[in-house]
């Protein structure tokens, strides 16, 4: 997974990046200022590590990009180039400022409009081109129909990732690079006063509701101070300032939800590891995530969900004796938290 943080200049993008990557990053290029890896907190991995005492513990992770195309590097004449630079990302975290001298709704609408208008311009130009070509050669009516569907949505300020498309429609437009066809999560970066009071502009919330976008609230300068504390003080300060959980944890959870990911686990003396996969993946597809050879030679998967495993005292031998460890075939749909051991032929 590759996730980009976007926003205008001075809204807290780099602060969020530093909090999520814990200050470890490399320099980017072009419209990307920094690149870092985010490891996904998972209590299940910690508990399995306590049980197995493995040589290695590996958390699920994704790459995070501090994207500055809409910040200091934004130029109207480079809009197409900037949108193209966004094409490789799976989702966006859009940081919206809610502190002086910014206006949350104005800042949100500025970025939102740039994204939607860029897509609308592309769709409209493609429709004009196809209509012109129609006079001299056969043109796909299906493609014109789906582009008109997208044009209608964008004209109503609906991002393309919220437009329901059939597999055929998706296939027809897969050659196009659209700015709004990937999920976007809004992070409202508030002043300490607004965050602690719970104050949110209702007009802003309604605007997000109309755009069908979800949002989370935080105060990034405050959160950056807290994450630098030791574990005990960190928990105490988060609770004192009304953070349900660190915003980074909530962001990761939401990103997984909107991208449709779950995690399966492998555990042994060599390694305890979390593996992110798409919800609905089969046991054979999960095996391929570990190694292509496991998918090719797949025979069966030994499976027990983490919750049931812990209810049996975290003892795999006991779980097998009680028949709690199931043998599943290649088409088994993997569930979040499944602990799996793949049987395969070499």
Question: pLDDT for 142-182, tens place per residue?
Answer: 888 999 999 999 998 888 888 888 999 989 888 887 888 88
Residue 194 reports pLDDT greater than 80: yes
The phi and psi torsions of 341 (rounded to 5 degrees) equal -125, 120
Question: What is residue 108's predicted lDDT score, i.e. its pLDDT?
Answer: 92
Alpha-carbon span 3 to 18, nearest angstrom: 14
Q: What is the pLDDT of residues 261-309, one digit of tens each?
A: 999 999 999 999 999 999 999 999 999 999 999 999 999 999 999 999 9
Contacts of 230 (CB under 8 A, 6+ apart): none
Distances (CA, A) of 93 to 5, 186, 240, 304: 5, 6, 26, 34
Report long-range pairs for 74-77 (Cβ below 8 Å, ≥24 apart).
74/8, 74/9
Answer whether residue 230 shows pLDDT above 80: no
pLDDT of residue 256: 85
Least confident residue range of 40-44, 131-135, 166-170 = 131-135
According to the model, what pLDDT value does residue 237 have? 80
Distance CA 159, CA 207 (A): 13
pLDDT of 77-130, one tens digit each? 777 788 788 888 989 999 999 999 999 999 998 888 888 888 888 898 889 888
What residue ranges do the domains of the chain occupy?
A: 280-344
pLDDT of residue 240: 79
What pLDDT does residue 71 have? 76
pLDDT of residue 130: 86
pLDDT of residue 247: 79
Q: Global pTM?
A: 0.84
Closest CA to 108 of 119, 117, 97: 97
Contact 37, 24 (CB under 8 A): yes
**101 Cβ neighbours under 8 A, 6+ residues apart:** none
pLDDT of 88 reads 82
Which band of pLDDT confidence, cut at 50, 70 and 90, is reported for residue 183?
confident
More confident residue, 71 or 69: 69
Please name the residues in contact with 341: beta carbons below 8 A apart, sequence gap of 6 or more. 266, 301, 302
Model confidence at 191, pLDDT cuts 50, 70, 90, reads very high
pLDDT digits (tens, 9 = 90+) for 16-28: 999 898 878 788 8
Cis status, amide bond into 101, omega within 30 of 0: yes
User: In this structure, which topology does domain 280-344 adopt according to CATH?
Assistant: Ubiquitin-like (UB roll) (3.10.20)
């Amino acid at each position: 997974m590759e996730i980009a943080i976007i926003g205008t200049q001075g809204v807290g993008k780099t602060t969020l990046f530093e909090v999520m990557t814990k200050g470890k990053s490399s320099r980017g290029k072009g419209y990307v200022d920094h690149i870092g890896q985010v490891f996904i907190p998972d209590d299940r991995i910690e508990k399995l590590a306590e049980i197995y005492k493995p040589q290695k513990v590996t958390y699920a992770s994704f790459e995070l990009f501090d994207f500055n195309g809409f910040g200091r590097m934004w130029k109207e004449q480079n809009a197409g180039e900037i949108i193209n630079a966004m094409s490789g990302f799976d989702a966006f975290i859009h940081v919206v400022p809610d502190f002086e001298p910014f206006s949350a709704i104005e800042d949100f609408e500025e970025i939102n409009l740039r994204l939607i208008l860029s897509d609308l311009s592309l769709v409209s130009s493609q429709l004009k081109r196809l209509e012109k070509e129609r006079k001299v050669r056969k043109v796909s009516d299906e493609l014109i129909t789906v582009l008109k569907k997208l044009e209608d949505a964008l004209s109503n300020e609906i991002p393309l990732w919220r437009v329901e498309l059939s597999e055929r429609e998706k296939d027809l437009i897969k050659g196009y690079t659209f700015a709004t066809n990937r999920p976007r999560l809004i992070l409202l970066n508030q002043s300490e006063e607004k965050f602690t009071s719970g104050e949110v502009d209702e007009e802003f919330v309604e605007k997000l509701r109309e755009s069908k976008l979800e949002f989370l609230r935080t105060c990034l300068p405050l959160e950056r101070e807290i994450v630098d504390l030791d574990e005990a003080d960190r928990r105490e300060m988060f609770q004192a300032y009304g953070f349900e959980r660190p915003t980074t944890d909530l962001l990761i959870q939401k990103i997984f939800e909107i991208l449709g990911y779950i995690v399966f686990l492998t555990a042994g003396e060599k390694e305890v590891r979390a593996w992110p996969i798409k919800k609905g993946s089969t046991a054979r597809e999960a095996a391929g995530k570990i190694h292509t050879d496991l998918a090719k030679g797949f025979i069966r998967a030994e499976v027990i969900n983490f919750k049931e495993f812990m209810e049996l005292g975290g003892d795999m031998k006991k779980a097998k004796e009680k028949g709690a460890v199931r043998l599943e075939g290649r088409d088994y749909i993997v569930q979040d938290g499944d602990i799996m051991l793949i049987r395969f032929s070499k």
